């Protein structure tokens, strides 16, 4: 029997799926140079190949909303992914500065080793060290919190504005398990609870393309601020590490209207990159 995600939503809950993808490799990633926000480097040839591989993996997933950082490496990744996605071909990509990478100030364009030297001279360690002109981790987390709450409020508002019985007439059907086949077919979770595909029925399915350090701080916000706990089979080092280029994480979010700061979060996968197995590339480039 095929694995599926079981989610029976109470009528007063809003729920959505959130897929987060890091951008593909750039020359700066390969050479271990910091990009941050000030270096707007495009994807390398390998980076485009990684984005195409992610696009193939997600090609049958029907997204209702797509958001991307407005930096070129994220924009190119999002566009490449969506070119392969026929179920979502009419969905517009929304570019948002809140999804940008952490700002590294004077360290941007410098080797990662130089950032570590700067941190040591200041009596600090990476990644908590903030170079002159850079963002603190708290500032990055505040951006992640702001954007996540924006997504939650958007889904709640859209859900309450559309009569559920008239979703089809309004031109948008509910998201079901059929729309999540890559994650369902590759997930080992909840197999004992697997029932009919209709058990999964969500209000929205959101794709978000962003950056390594930003995504790590987003996950830390989930864990430390929202008290989210990962499944026991995921090691902590993997949970809070920087995602490889085009690494994919997938979450199911449920919340009550008026309580967007208290969501229920379930992780389906974190930083997965098996879609890159056939690429002749080193997926361990974690430099932002």
Is the CB of residue 180 less than 8 Å from the CB of residue 261?
no
Position 71 scores a pLDDT of 98
Give percent above pLDDT 90 in the chain: 64
Residue carrying the six token digits 């026991």: 232
- Distances from the Cα of 277 to the Cαs of 14, 199, 227, 273, 281, in angstroms? 36, 31, 33, 8, 9
- According to the 3-state scheme, what is the secondary structure of 52-111? HHHHHHCCCCCCCEEEECCCHHHHHHHHHHHHCCHHHCCCCEEECHHHCCCCEHHHCCCE
- According to the 3-state scheme, what is the secondary structure of 223-287? HHHCCCCCCCCCCHHHHCCCCCCCCEEEEEEEECCCCCCCCEEEEEEEEECHHHCCCCCCCCCCC
| Known catalytic residue at 211 | no
Rounded-to-10 torsion of CA 52, 54, 58, 60: 30
Q: Which residues are annotated as a binding site for substrate?
A: 22-29, 73, 101-104
Position 231 scores a pLDDT of 76
Q: Which residues are annotated as a binding site?
A: 22-29, 73, 101-104
* C-alpha to C-alpha distance for 73 and 47, rounded to whole angstroms: 9
The predicted-structure confidence for 212-254, as pLDDT tens digits, reads as follows: 999 999 999 999 999 888 877 665 545 568 899 999 999 999 9
User: Of these residues, 101, 108, 189, 239, which one is catalytic?
Assistant: 101
| Known catalytic residue at 90 | no
Position 200 scores a pLDDT of 64
Higher pLDDT, 68 or 286: 68
Position 239 scores a pLDDT of 53
**Would you kindly state where each structural domain of the chain is located, as residue ranges?**
14-102+137-276
Q: Which of 1-15, 58-72, 224-238, 271-285 is predicted least confidently?
A: 1-15
CATH code, 14-102+137-276: 3.40.50.1240
Tell whether the model's pLDDT for residue 5 goes beyond 60. no
Position 47 scores a pLDDT of 97
Tell whether the model's pLDDT for residue 22 goes beyond 90. yes
* C-alpha to C-alpha distance for 25 and 243, rounded to whole angstroms: 12
Tell whether the model's pLDDT for residue 166 goes beyond 80. no
| Average pLDDT over every residue of 112-141 | 95
Higher pLDDT, 96 or 287: 96
**Angle between the N-to-C axes of helices 45-57 and 72-83, in degrees from 0 to 180, rounded to the nearest 10:** 40
**Mean pLDDT score of the chain, rounded to an integer?**
84
């Amino acid at each position: 029997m095929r694995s599926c995600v079981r989610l029976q939503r109470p009528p007063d809950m809003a729920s959505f799926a959130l897929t987060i993808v890091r951008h593909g490799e750039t020359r700066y990633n390969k050479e271990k140079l910091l990009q941050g926000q000030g270096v707007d480097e495009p994807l390398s040839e390998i980076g485009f190949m990684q984005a195409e591989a992610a696009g193939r993996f997600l090609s049958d997933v029907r997204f209702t909303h797509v958001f991307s950082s407005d930096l070129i490496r994220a924009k190119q990744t999002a566009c490449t992914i969506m070119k392969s996605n026929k179920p979502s071909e009419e969905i517009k990509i929304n570019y948002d500065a809140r999804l940008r990478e952490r700002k590294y100030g004077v360290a941007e364009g410098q080797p990662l080793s130089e950032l570590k030297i700067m941190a040591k001279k200041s009596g600090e360690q990476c990644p908590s060290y903030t170079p002159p002109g850079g963002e603190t981790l708290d500032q990055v987390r505040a951006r992640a919190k702001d954007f996540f709450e924006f997504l939650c409020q958007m889904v709640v508002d859209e859900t309450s504005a559309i009569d559920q019985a008239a979703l089809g007439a309004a031109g948008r059907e509910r998201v079901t398990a059929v729309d999540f086949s890559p994650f369902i077919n590759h997930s080992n979770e909840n197999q004992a609870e697997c029932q009919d595909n209709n058990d999964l029925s969500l209000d929205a399915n959101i794709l978000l393309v962003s950056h390594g350090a930003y995504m790590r701080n987003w996950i830390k916000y989930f864990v430390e601020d929202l008290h989210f706990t990962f499944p026991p089979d995921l090691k902590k080092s993997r949970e809070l590490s920087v995602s490889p280029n085009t690494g994919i994480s997938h979450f199911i979010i449920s919340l009550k209207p008026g309580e967007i700061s208290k969501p229920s979060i379930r992780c389906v996968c974190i930083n997965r990159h098996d879609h890159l197995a056939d690429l002749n590339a080193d997926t361990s480039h974690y430099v932002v």
